[in-house]
Structure 1
Amino acid sequence: MNPNKNTIQNPTGIKIIGIIVLFSMVVACQSLLEQDITGDTVTLNSPPNGLHSEDYTQTFWWDDVKGASSYNLQVVSPSFDFMQKMVLDTNITDNQFTYSFYPDTFTCRIKAYNAAYETAFTYATFYIDSTEGPQIVVLKEPYNNSITNDSNLVFSWYKAENATNYRVLIKEGEDVISTIIAYETSIKYPDNLLETPLLVDGEYTWTVRSENEVGYSEYAAARSIMIDRIAPGTPTVIRPVNQDTIGNFEMAWKHGANSGSAISDSIIVYKDSTSNIEYLSLLITDTVFTHSGASSNKWYSFKIKAVDAATNQSGWSPIRYFYYQATTEGNK
């Protein structure tokens, strides 16, 4: 009898076990090398809890924690229990950090950590309430989610109290968290509009903040816009075939090329074979049009053009003629 007959050889399993053991040893060694700081507390010296300040720029300063390699500082508005906005989340190796705020209520928290341990958070609430600071801007036009083909695009906003100038920020893409800046400029007060920045067709967000010697406001809620100056392609009629006789009053077509905004179609149907007497004229979003109530045993003609959401228009399709002969009495 072979003494190894019932022995299962699994080199892969042995390797996995070895890796797990090695990882556990590394973690254990790391814990032994790092100082346990879980019972320590970060002492925050500035800003003190409950601070009311007219200074927009605040310096966070705390005592070093022995054994800590870094600190995690977070600031929200107005509090972590009722958070409306995450203002700051950063990791720092030093024991101070400077940041510029705007008038509002803020709560900060900070903890120390190393490769194996971390302390609990230390909290403080502070208020930036300068009456001399610039106020948040209220945007005017373009409206949110607007689509335009205007080459003379104008961005405007209402004047903000205490402002000496405005910062206009336009970013690429429809996402408000986009980081791709397409255009940024400063406008001197009392001017409150920006005319025709050189923007190519596409989707953007835009916003404005007010500034003065004290500091600057929060940016206004960003608005989305789409610039589309390219006309869609002319529709191609699928049916009816020219000069055809049809039993159902139905027309179908397909759109031409379009790289811009959504398309609707303008269709005109004439009640004769000379295209002189207009029978129907309507704008539809489908590419099939069915009609009941038309007189049977008569010639009709029609044409179609595409119109996008920015009001760009294609050319008209060639006029198509057809003879309508209803298939049922109800369609006559």
Structure 2
Amino acid sequence: MKTISKIILLATTMILFSCEDILEEDITNDTIQTVSPIEKDTISSNVVNFQWNIIKGATNYRVQVFNENLAVVLDSLVGNKVSLTHPFLPGTYKWRVRGENAGYQSVYSFPVGFTVVQSNDLTNQQVVLSNPISGLYTNSTSLICTWQDLIPADYYELELVNVTAGQTIILQQSNITSTSVTLNNANLAQDAEYLWKIKAVNATSQSVFSNRNFFIDRVNPNQPQNSLPANNSTQTVNQPIAFTWTMPSDAGTIQSQINYTIEFSNTTTFATILQTSTSATTMIQQSFANAGDYYWRVKAVDAASNVSTYSTAFKFTIN
């Protein structure tokens, strides 16, 4: 009977581990048809829009671009979509694409050559933004926005929008001849989601706005509160202990993602930190090999680098 049970358990395990591969469609011999750019295309823009046809069974697509020396200048895994826009310097390139899923990869499409040339017409060009990254959370009172120089541009125009306040434009600036702007506390007075937008302008044309968002959050997280193990509890040596705590709701306008730092000490003042752990949830498990008295506390750190006060320390004894 035990032998039969083991066989059933082994078979079940094999099914579970291989289930994903069984469900994935074999696309090994499939080839993607590219749509744009086509062979010998000349693109009068600083950005190239790659497009291809979907293949059944692919959950991702990998796009590769080579320069005239056959060096890889782009190797990008995009999601379940059939286009990718990317900036390029003037030059000659080749591109190809393949489909992928968790178990298989298709063959690459036949390489397609294209040329990027510089144009003074900004209509179909884009300003390539550098920093800050999209979706940044920060508590800073000063933020430097930078972008790549677009050679045909005479100058740039900036708009800063408070999205939280209802798409309110709080700053407009033109005739910017550098490739950076510093936003100060006067511009970023409120905790909010902001959108910064840049476009290039010359005597005959202008680009569309390129934009990214960021979040200003200057409110410290609330103080965590220890839950378990209860204060002055007794635990067993070398046995996992679940440490849990609660976190009051964030009252700030922007609720940044919170992570936790948990500290263990053998002194009430935490003069000596025996171990530090981090967690994205309000629980960790920890065991202790040595008997004695221990103390633990937690602090919260949000994505904008705001830090709470430590929770009130709890004591526990290992026997």
Q: TM-score range by the shorter chain?
A: 0.5 to 0.7
Among 255, 262, 270, the residue aligned to 1:267:
262
Among 178, 181, 189, the residue aligned to 2:168:
181
Tell me how many residue pairs correspond in the alignment. Answer: 200
Please say if 1:132 is aligned against 2:120.
yes
In 2, Cα distance between equivalents of 1:267 and 1:304: 5
In 1, Cα distance between equivalents of 2:181 and 2:174: 8
Partner of 1:210: 200
Could you say if the C-alpha distance between residues 289 and 186 of structure 1 is closer, same or farther in structure 2, counting changes exceeding 3 Å?
Answer: same
Partner of 2:212: 223
- Asked if structure 1 preserves the Cα contact closer than 8 Å seen for 2:131 and 2:144, the reply is yes
Could you say if the C-alpha distance between residues 205 and 273 of structure 1 is closer, same or farther in structure 2, counting changes exceeding 3 Å?
Answer: closer
- How far does residue 249 in structure 1 lie from its aligned partner after superposition? 2.3
- How far does residue 296 in structure 1 lie from its aligned partner after superposition? 5.2
Partner of 1:320: 314
Partner of 2:183: 196
Could you say if the C-alpha distance between residues 131 and 318 of structure 1 is closer, same or farther in structure 2, counting changes exceeding 3 Å?
Answer: same
Amino acid in structure 2 at the alignment position of 1:299 = D
Among 146, 153, 156, the residue aligned to 2:146:
156
Partner of 1:146: 136
Partner of 2:229: 240
- How far does residue 216 in structure 1 lie from its aligned partner after superposition? 1.1
Among 267, 286, 289, the residue aligned to 2:284:
289
Amino acid in structure 2 at the alignment position of 1:252 = T
Could you say if the C-alpha distance between residues 274 and 193 of structure 1 is closer, same or farther in structure 2, counting changes exceeding 3 Å?
Answer: closer
Could you say if the C-alpha distance between residues 212 and 189 of structure 1 is closer, same or farther in structure 2, counting changes exceeding 3 Å?
Answer: same
In 2, Cα distance between equivalents of 1:242 and 1:161: 65
- How far does residue 140 in structure 1 lie from its aligned partner after superposition? 1.4
- How far does residue 163 in structure 1 lie from its aligned partner after superposition? 2.1
In 2, Cα distance between equivalents of 1:182 and 1:230: 23
Amino acid in structure 2 at the alignment position of 1:170 = L
Partner of 1:102: none
- How far does residue 271 in structure 1 lie from its aligned partner after superposition? 3.6
- Asked if structure 1 preserves the Cα contact closer than 8 Å seen for 2:160 and 2:172, the reply is no
In 2, Cα distance between equivalents of 1:274 and 1:296: 20
Amino acid in structure 1 at the alignment position of 2:257 = A
Deviations 1:147-191 (A, max 9, x none): 2111111212122223232121233449xxx97133342232422
In 2, Cα distance between equivalents of 1:189 and 1:288: 50
In 1, Cα distance between equivalents of 2:302 and 2:293: 30
Please say if 1:167 is aligned against 2:143.
no
- How far does residue 226 in structure 1 lie from its aligned partner after superposition? 1.5
Deviations 1:72-115 (A, max 9, x none): xxxxx9xxxxxx9xxxxxxxxxxxxxxxxxxxxxxxxxxxxxxx
Partner of 2:295: 301
In 2, Cα distance between equivalents of 1:274 and 1:132: 66
Partner of 1:10: none
Could you say if the C-alpha distance between residues 139 and 167 of structure 1 is closer, same or farther in structure 2, counting changes exceeding 3 Å?
Answer: same
| DSSP 3-state at the match of 1:136 | coil
Q: After the TM superposition, which residues 53-64 of structure 1 pair with which residues of structure 2 at under 5 Å, given as runs?
A: none
| DSSP 3-state at the match of 1:266 | strand
| Misfit runs of 4+, over 4 Å | none
- Asked if structure 1 preserves the Cα contact closer than 8 Å seen for 2:159 and 2:173, the reply is no
Amino acid in structure 2 at the alignment position of 1:166 = Y
Measured on the aligned residues, the alpha-carbon RMSD in Å equals 3.4
In 2, Cα distance between equivalents of 1:304 and 1:179: 36
Amino acid in structure 1 at the alignment position of 2:259 = S
| DSSP 3-state at the match of 2:299 | strand
- Asked if structure 2 preserves the Cα contact closer than 8 Å seen for 1:169 and 1:181, the reply is no
In 2, Cα distance between equivalents of 1:225 and 1:190: 23
Greater CA drift, 273-282 or 237-246: 273-282
In 1, Cα distance between equivalents of 2:257 and 2:178: 35
In 2, Cα distance between equivalents of 1:277 and 1:179: 49
- Asked if structure 2 preserves the Cα contact closer than 8 Å seen for 1:167 and 1:184, the reply is no
- Asked if structure 1 preserves the Cα contact closer than 8 Å seen for 2:157 and 2:201, the reply is yes
Partner of 2:60: none
**Structure (1 or 2) with the larger CA radius of gyration:** 1
In 1, Cα distance between equivalents of 2:166 and 2:230: 51
- How far does residue 273 in structure 1 lie from its aligned partner after superposition? 5.7
| DSSP 3-state at the match of 1:238 | strand
In 2, Cα distance between equivalents of 1:282 and 1:223: 33
